[in-house]
Structure 1
Amino acid sequence: MSKITIQAAVCRQFGSPLSIETLTLAPPTAREVRVNLAACAICHSDIIYADGGWGGTPPIVFGHEAAGTVVEAGADSGIAVGTRVVVTLLRSCGGCIPCQHGAPTLCEDNFDPLTRLYDINGKPVAIGLKTGAFAEQVVVDSSQVATIHNTLPFTEACLLACGVLTGWGAVVNTANVPPGASVAVVGCGGVGVNCLQAASIAGASPLVAIDLSAEKLKSAEQFGTTHTILANADDYGEQAQHITGGRGFDYVFMTAGSAKAAEQAASLLATMGTLVLTGMPPDGDLARINIADVAQGQRRFLGSKMGNSHLRTDIPKFLRLHSEGRLKLKELIASYYPLVDINRAMDASRRGDALRNIILFDNS
């Protein structure tokens, strides 16, 4: 099949508004699928990238938290046309050392370096975060999609692609939080509240939400928190110590994209406590940590990329938990925007006004 024409939000210059442009999309190769998108959530990673925090060379199409319907499938994709799917940035070859050791989020295969997007002059447009989902359609590797059932709205399904995978996976896959552990979550955006959801179901107690925004702390209360703390309160440390009886927390999840937040999170750890770093600050942000305190208290620092998730096994778990009423999705959504209003949606997310804003596509 020849290239098709789509509408997409293109970053022509970091820090500037995205422009809605007509692009052409190349057909999928044997392992790939083409997906007609219905919805794409805005993640803070998209904002950091669009603001120049992670480098790259524009023009670029961002967006990586999407859902839609497969409309074309390569011969080796193993996916049928018409399948409803979540589309993620997780791309795995299955054969490299990380993939063979159960860590597909760390896949070392570079895959095909060629773009699938071109502007009206035939010049290539880069695909941000391996997905490029601020567009009506995407072409992605078959490992980047997972099937969803017909009853789950695309607007809720897209949230599974990153925010839920990352937050839930950090608690369950990376940290394996046991019942009764004390847990604090620093940063209560889309990833943070999913850390709270997972820790609540795991039986964590106390379960404390920490954020600079009183509004976000209010929202966090519906995801299982037992206490909330304003991160800029004068008695921030005293509150945390009081809640834990002076011990500190067994597990602290840092989901904010800030080195200062990492330092603050580290200060909350109990002896033998674990800090899980899921937040992605801009490149070059460095945190100051008291190494002697880490060693003497036998504290652990764990990195967690996309929650160490396994797409084909984790997504079915989420679908089951949601059908049982135990996983909240609709409650994560603040507002819906058409693609033409993506800059307004990005600005609202940039200000921290919302957990997740959703882009809806006309062709869905």
Structure 2
Amino acid sequence: MPQQVRGVVARKKGAPVEVADIVVPDPGPGEAVVAIAACGVCHTDLTYREGGINDEFPFLLGHEAAGTVESVGEGVEDVAPGDFVVLNWRAVCGSCRACKRGRAQYCFDTFNAAQPMTLADGTELSPALGIGAFAEKTLVHAGQCTKVDPAADPAVVGLLGCGVMAGLGAAVNTGGVGRGDSVAVIGCGGVGDAAVAGARLAGAGTIIAVDRDAGKLEWAKELGATHTVDASAADTVEEVRALTGGFGADVVIDAVGRPETFEQAFYARDLAGTVVLVGVPTPEMRLELPFLDVFGRGGALKSSWYGDCLPERDFPMLVDLYRQGRLPLERFVTERIGIEEVEQAFHTMHEGEVLRSVVVL
């Protein structure tokens, strides 16, 4: 029968979030109910609260989560009650044109749960990225559940559900960073530092972290940056070139998502180098570049959506690397908080005081 649990809800644009009673229905065909163990506080959740995604209030926030499958609906075979899972927002369909071409990481028709979760009065909730995991339990499509090593810390591996996977995948999957490559990462918050960690994991020789915040640059060094550039005191393009023999980096990752930073990334790369945009622009932004420079510099300009990941392929592998001590995912967890502290966590995140606050349930 339906269950009533606590969850973090954004009722209207810009208003502080609140902990409310929500109703989670029994799973229908293809669905699963997951008891959430931990969920990271991602900037995307704040963007939902501010109306930057859409205006389908009220939202049930939270999406970077790990937990245990409690029950499944008809036809579910890949996960079962008791499985420890990381939730994802790319439950691939297997039948769209991307999937049929063997490019499931670009699936155009991903799945979410068909049934709504509601407030106690019956008002339907919009779960963030189809997940809604700032809650004791949530309802998702079973394809959004990826089984991983149950010995892993849920507060750590849950971060693969969004920001860490986006940054790490931008380097490894989208950017194709290889052994000995030079890499520059512009913007060293959670996503940018994950790109730094990904570049290190891939064997990059020179990893340049660029930010205006000294604390963030220190975090980047801890995660593998070999050099740092204070963008508030130096020209980013000139500094990156100086650190790469005057040529520019093989791969430059823009983890900010502004026209100014993308232009810096464009000119900070080597000839035939790659620019990866993983920071999310806003609708009003416009980019202007000399068309001849786009032609003359060659290489590739790429956007990275969720780090071009395939959860069932990438999550278990990355959790194994973390468990082996080869990927320091635990360094992304700055603090562990309760479900009532999400609003304060938005503030500390906005002020750049944390890589990730993680709600532990």
- TM-score of the pair, normalised by structure 2: 0.95
1:350 is aligned to 350
Give the drift of 1:33: 0.7
Q: Deviations over 1:162-187 (max 9, x none)?
A: 22321222222222212121110111
Using a 3 Å threshold, how does the CA distance of structure 1 residues 264 and 250 change in structure 2: closer, same or farther? same
Distance 2:346 2:296 in 1: 43
Tell whether the 8 Å contact from 1:248 to 1:268 is kept in structure 2 after alignment: yes
1:13 is aligned to 12
1:278 is aligned to 278
2:296 is aligned to 296
Report the secondary structure of 2:5's partner residue.
strand
Give the drift of 1:274: 0.7
Using a 3 Å threshold, how does the CA distance of structure 1 residues 32 and 295 change in structure 2: closer, same or farther? same
Give the drift of 1:270: 1.4
Distance 2:187 2:27 in 1: 38
Matched, 1:76 2:92: no
Which amino acid letter does the alignment assign opposite residue 179 of structure 2?
P
What does 1:243-262 align with in structure 2 at a 5 Å threshold? 243-262=243-262
What does 1:126-165 align with in structure 2 at a 5 Å threshold? 126-165=126-165
Tell whether the 8 Å contact from 1:266 to 1:289 is kept in structure 2 after alignment: no
Distance 2:213 2:296 in 1: 33
Using a 3 Å threshold, how does the CA distance of structure 1 residues 201 and 112 change in structure 2: closer, same or farther? closer
Give the drift of 1:244: 1.2
1:224 is aligned to 224
Give the drift of 1:299: 3.1
Distance 1:133 1:262 in 2: 32
1:166 is aligned to 166
Report the secondary structure of 1:124's partner residue.
coil
Give the drift of 1:10: 0.9
Matched, 1:36 2:35: yes
1:340 is aligned to 340
Give the drift of 1:221: 0.5
1:58 is aligned to 57
1:96 is aligned to 96
Give the drift of 1:317: 1.2
What fraction of aligned residue pairs are identical, expressed as a percent? Answer: 33
Distance 1:354 1:101 in 2: 40
Which amino acid letter does the alignment assign opposite residue 162 of structure 2?
C
Tell whether the 8 Å contact from 1:54 to 1:282 is kept in structure 2 after alignment: no
Tell whether the 8 Å contact from 1:349 to 1:356 is kept in structure 2 after alignment: yes
> Number of matched residues?
360
Using a 3 Å threshold, how does the CA distance of structure 1 residues 90 and 310 change in structure 2: closer, same or farther? same
Matched, 1:215 2:225: no
Which has the higher mean CA deviation after the structures are superposed, 275-284 or 258-267? Answer: 258-267
Report the secondary structure of 1:160's partner residue.
helix
- TM-score of the pair, normalised by structure 1: 0.94
**Structure 2 gap ranges (5+):** none
Using a 3 Å threshold, how does the CA distance of structure 1 residues 111 and 149 change in structure 2: closer, same or farther? closer
Distance 1:183 1:112 in 2: 35
Using a 3 Å threshold, how does the CA distance of structure 1 residues 259 and 77 change in structure 2: closer, same or farther? farther
Q: CA RMSD in A?
A: 1.7
**Structure 1 gap ranges (5+):** none
Tell whether the 8 Å contact from 1:104 to 1:308 is kept in structure 2 after alignment: no
